[in-house]
Amino acid sequence: MAPIISVKDLTKTYENGFEALKGINLDIEEGEVLALLGPNGAGKTTLISIICGIANKSGGSVTVGGHDITRDFRKARDMIGLVPQEMAVEVFEKVIDTVKFSRGLFGKGKDPAHIERVLRDLTLWDKKDNRIRELSGGMKRRVMIAKALSHEPRVLFLDEPTAGVDVELRKEMWDVMRELKKSGVTIILTTHYIEEAEAMADRVGVISKGELLVVEETDSLMKSLGKKVLEIELDKPVDDVPPALAQKGVTLSPTGKLVYTYDTAAEQTGITDILADLKKAGLRLADLSTKQSSLEDIFVDLVAQQKAEEDAA
Ligand SMILES: Nc1ncnc2c1ncn2[C@@H]1O[C@H](COP(=O)(O)OP(=O)(O)OP(=O)(O)O)[C@@H](O)[C@H]1O
């Protein structure tokens, strides 16, 4: 099946000369949930703004449902719903009116049954006559989604849907996205949170400095990213790592702790062996801690890996 969105060699240079996208290639399949993961300033918003027709591209091409976003803008845009990062709602307006208005902006005829379905799916039907300022933060976010779905798009973009919200509301938004996926809509979300990508996405794309470093099935990406660091504090610091431990990749930190990086997805982490080797070497533990490699570490790894591959080629 042809991809619902196809991005080819897409570049964006802002007027001040800043190169925000450096040749992005990406195909998005109908019905999938794709998470675009990346640090601040990576180019995520720029990418989705171009696909949604809010920003102009500098080079390359984008099609949505086979329609070129430049030549066939109207048709391409009609297929897309966008939930932007910032709340853009008229607080004095009634929920149902603002959703109907959004549909009207796309030149679509009235369809009360569709509006009702969208509001019911988002559990907003009871609130349809409330003014937006009377709603909770979670409900306001759902109104934004209802507006984006008002004209029956086949693709929904969510730009950082859970930035700055508490854990409970994040989970609520995840449930909403899962329900939307069931209805067959293709979802592209941007996020800083690995857990969000892991919980929601069929595939994850990692963007850094305007480049798409990798696009992969979430499970396999998490396997390659899922590293943890074990730090072992000894009751008496050592000058050298005992050979049996050094062989297993244990190193010494500047503060005299033994450090071991392991793959959380591996069948065996090797930690049991390391603890046994410590005992054999006559070393005693004072403390143990583990930490998950951060998003930043992962990007560093990915960039280093990419560079090594380029050098080898
Ligand atoms: N209008 C503009 N003019 C010049 N540079 C811009 C403009 N808009 C964005 N940029 C720059 O382009 C880069 C990518 O920005 P973008 O907003 O796409 O990143 P992002 O990945 O969405 O980041 P965040 O996670 O912080 O939202 C940033 O360095 C940003 O400063």
Least confident range of 50-54, 268-272, 278-282, 306-310:
306-310
| Residue 161 Cβ contacting ligand 1 at under 6 Å | no
CA dihedral 133, 136, 140, 141 (to 10 degrees): 160
The verdict on 99 and 143 lying in the same domain is: yes
Nearest one of 166, 204, 172 to 187, comparing CA atoms: 204
Residue 80 host element (H or E): strand 80-83
Mean pLDDT of 168-189: 88
Hey, which of 12, 24, 44 would you mutate to test ligand 1's pocket, going by the most ligand atoms within 8 Å of its Cβ? Answer: 44
CA distances to 119, 149, 174, 196, 213 from 204, rounded to whole Å, are 29, 23, 16, 10, 11
Q: How many domains does the chain contain in total? A: 2
Hey, which of 12, 13, 18, 189 would you mutate to test ligand 1's pocket, going by the most ligand atoms within 8 Å of its Cβ? Answer: 18
Rounded Cα–Cα distance for residues 147 and 251 (Å): 54
The verdict on 208 and 233 lying in the same domain is: no
Residue 128 host element (H or E): none
User: 73 in a domain, yes or no?
Assistant: yes
Last residue of a domain, one of 177, 205, 223: 223
> Burial of 269 by CB count in 10 Å (0-12 exposed, 13-18 middle, 19+ buried)?
middle
User: 303 in a domain, yes or no?
Assistant: no
Q: How far is the CA of 229 from the centre of ligand 1 (A)?
A: 32
The verdict on 109 and 14 lying in the same domain is: yes
The domain in which residue 285 lies consists of 227-292
The verdict on 206 and 218 lying in the same domain is: yes
The verdict on 67 and 208 lying in the same domain is: yes
Q: How far is the CA of 46 from the centre of ligand 1 (A)?
A: 6
Residue with the nearest Cα to atom 3 of ligand 1? 14
The verdict on 153 and 205 lying in the same domain is: yes
Nearest one of 211, 236, 206 to 297, comparing CA atoms: 206
The verdict on 36 and 137 lying in the same domain is: yes
CA dihedral 226, 251, 270, 290 (to 10 degrees): -50
Q: Assess contact for 50 and 12: CB atoms under 8 A.
A: yes
User: 207 in a domain, yes or no?
Assistant: yes
The residue among 277 and 163 whose pLDDT is bigger is 277
Residue-wise pLDDT tens digits, 134-156:
998 888 888 999 999 999 999 99
Q: How far is the CA of 159 from the centre of ligand 1 (A)?
A: 13
Atom nearest to 12 CA in ligand 1: 12
Tell the residue number behind the tokens 């995840």, with chain if given: 174
Last residue of a domain, one of 223, 243, 278: 223
Rounded Cα–Cα distance for residues 115 and 102 (Å): 11
Residue 250 host element (H or E): none
Last residue of a domain, one of 175, 190, 223: 223
Q: Assess contact for 188 and 48: CB atoms under 8 A.
A: yes
> What is the pLDDT, as a whole number, of residue 304?
73
| Residue 213 Cβ contacting ligand 1 at under 6 Å | no
> What is the pLDDT, as a whole number, of residue 143?
92
CA distances to 241, 248, 253 from 234, rounded to whole Å, are 12, 18, 12
| Residue 43 Cβ contacting ligand 1 at under 6 Å | yes
The verdict on 211 and 245 lying in the same domain is: no
User: 304 in a domain, yes or no?
Assistant: no
User: 297 in a domain, yes or no?
Assistant: no
The verdict on 240 and 107 lying in the same domain is: no
User: 280 in a domain, yes or no?
Assistant: yes
> What is the pLDDT, as a whole number, of residue 183?
86
The verdict on 264 and 231 lying in the same domain is: yes
The verdict on 155 and 282 lying in the same domain is: no
Share of the chain above pLDDT 90, in %: 54
Question: 157 CB contacts (<8 Å, ≥6 apart)?
Answer: 48, 51, 52, 80, 81, 82, 83, 148, 187, 188, 189
User: 130 in a domain, yes or no?
Assistant: yes
Residue-wise pLDDT tens digits, 192-219:
887 788 888 999 998 888 999 889 888 7
Look up the CATH number of the domain holding residue 104.
3.40.50.300
> What is the pLDDT, as a whole number, of residue 80?
94
CA angle at residue 307 from 305 to 310, to 5 degrees?
A: 110
> Burial of 48 by CB count in 10 Å (0-12 exposed, 13-18 middle, 19+ buried)?
buried
> What is the pLDDT, as a whole number, of residue 294?
55
User: 309 in a domain, yes or no?
Assistant: no
| Residue 40 Cβ contacting ligand 1 at under 6 Å | yes
Mapped onto helix, strand or coil, the DSSP state of residue 55 is coil
Residue 262 host element (H or E): strand 258-263
Residue with the nearest Cα to atom 2 of ligand 1? 14
The verdict on 91 and 202 lying in the same domain is: yes
